[in-house]
Amino acid sequence: MPGKIKKMIDTIIQQRSRGSSIIANTIKVKLILKGINPDVFTSQSDDNPLIIKRVEKIGRDFGVNVNRHSGGY
């Protein structure tokens, strides 16, 4: 299912920022520093299992369950 990585990244950003654009930008910078550039992934991006595992770990580090959100996949 293309776009899973994008949804996971969006979940991390939404849950951690709680609507604050300043915090959302900070989270994006932290993701980039951890090797995941949110701007690279779109809803059409292929789902690379290695990237998914990295995003899941980053989500755990941030205290976010990226596999449980309202979008469902």
For residues 39-57, one letter each, b for 16 or more C-beta atoms within 10 angstroms of the residue's C-beta and e for the rest, the string is eebeeeeebeeebeebbbe
At 4-25, the pLDDT tens digits run 999 999 999 999 999 899 999 9
Q: Residue ranges of the alpha helices (H) in the chain?
A: 4-17, 21-33, 49-62
CA distance 70 to 51: 21
Residue with tokens 């990226």: 66
User: pLDDT digits over 48-72, tens only?
Assistant: 999 999 999 999 999 998 886 544 4
Domain ranges within the chain, ordered by starting residue: 4-62
